Amino acid sequence: MIHEFDYKPNYGIPDEGARNFGVELELVCKKIQQEIEKSNNFSEKFQEEIDELAEETYPAFSSDCIFKKDGSLDAASWEIVTKPLSLSGQKEFWTPQIFKYLISKGLISYNTKCCGMHVHVSRKSLSLLQIAKLVKFIYNKENYKFIKKIAQREEKGYAEFSSNKSFSYVKDKNASKYSAINLCNENTIEFRLFKGTLNHNAFHKNLEFCDALIDFCAPSVSGVKESKEWWSFTEYLSINRKRYTFLWDFCKFHRIDDVNSWSDYLEERKFNKLKVDKIGESFPVVNLGTI
């Protein structure tokens, strides 16, 4: 069943010191959404169809997730919300077969106006300095094109990442939740920047980015100045590429694996007067697709 948006499952008490990830993946049923748009009316019939589809779909999942409504989504939609799991636990949960199954049920996530992928990380696994460095990296204007490429979408009102933010932002009680990093939750920080996807490689690229950036921002790994620079991050990623295979392959294909290749890439495109890459384009190394 699809729970109301404010439903909170009882998953027990997680290991507060462990780095756990909770994923919210937003979905739309393409066929039902088209029918709603055609009739220009959301009737009880459509809600019944959505509920039936959810009932059919849920048995393919374990008890490690629930389906919920989300007020920001289109009518023919819901989101899959997982329990807190380690990075390896999330990779075991989100298998290629799961994505193929969702696609077979007529669900999409990338080719929509509204769907995103949100990643929650347990706060107690991070230091305050680490969180502040994450904020400075995401909101550094020098990193804007890099973040946009990683996110695979333009900045949106519900996931803003273009304004510069100081370290004091981590204690701002009036901060908006509609930011690339939402700090309004008491127990987690939330990465909201990613475009939704039902592509296995793109999905795990997003998870690996969160994990890699958190590690990069650890006090023992990077200084405050260094941690703001995307090229320092990609250098760190290069050293640890065997840990982050999905993210590293993505960066290699888009030629953002080091500062020189990224600069050359931009100059080449400018010189040839080519249009900027569509943010969701796929690539042959690990196909990202646009589902």
For residue 127, CA distances in Å to 184, 219, 279 come to 16, 9, 33
Residue 286 in any domain: the answer is: no
Residue 266 in any domain: the answer is: yes
Residue 159 in any domain: the answer is: yes
Bridge partners, 68 (sequence order): 3, 79
Residue 202 in any domain: the answer is: yes
Residue 265 in any domain: the answer is: yes
Query: Which residues neighbour 272 within 8 Å (Cβ) at sequence distance 6 or greater?
Result: none
Predicted local distance difference test score (pLDDT) of residue 111: 86
Residue 255 in any domain: the answer is: yes
Residue 85 in any domain: the answer is: yes
The total number of structural domains in the chain stands at: 1
The C-alpha atoms of residue 198 and residue 108 are separated, in whole angstroms, by 7
The C-alpha atoms of residue 258 and residue 264 are separated, in whole angstroms, by 10
**What's the token pair of residue 224?**
């405050």
**What's the token pair of residue 188?**
């987690």
Predicted local distance difference test score (pLDDT) of residue 71: 63
**Rg of the chain's alpha carbons, rounded to an integer?**
19
Query: 189 and 130 in contact (C-beta within 8 Å)?
Result: no
Closest CA to 157 of 132, 177, 139: 177
Query: 65 and 80 in contact (C-beta within 8 Å)?
Result: yes
Range of the domain at 224: 2-271
Residue 283 in any domain: the answer is: no
Query: 28 and 112 in contact (C-beta within 8 Å)?
Result: yes
Query: 244 and 212 in contact (C-beta within 8 Å)?
Result: yes
**What's the token pair of residue 76?**
């023919």
Could you read off the pLDDT tens digit of each residue along the chain, which spans 291 residues?
A: 788 878 887 776 667 678 999 999 999 888 887 887 787 776 677 778 888 898 899 988 878 899 988 765 556 678 999 999 999 999 999 999 999 999 999 999 998 878 899 999 999 999 999 999 999 999 998 898 899 999 998 876 666 666 666 666 676 666 677 788 999 888 899 999 999 999 999 999 999 999 999 999 998 898 888 888 998 999 999 999 999 999 999 999 888 877 676 666 556 656 664 444 444 444 334 444 445
Tokens 């439903």 correspond to 7
Q: What predicted TM-score, i.e. pTM, was given to this entire model?
A: 0.85
CATH number, domain with residue 259: 3.30.590
Closest CA to 2 of 74, 82, 75, 66: 66
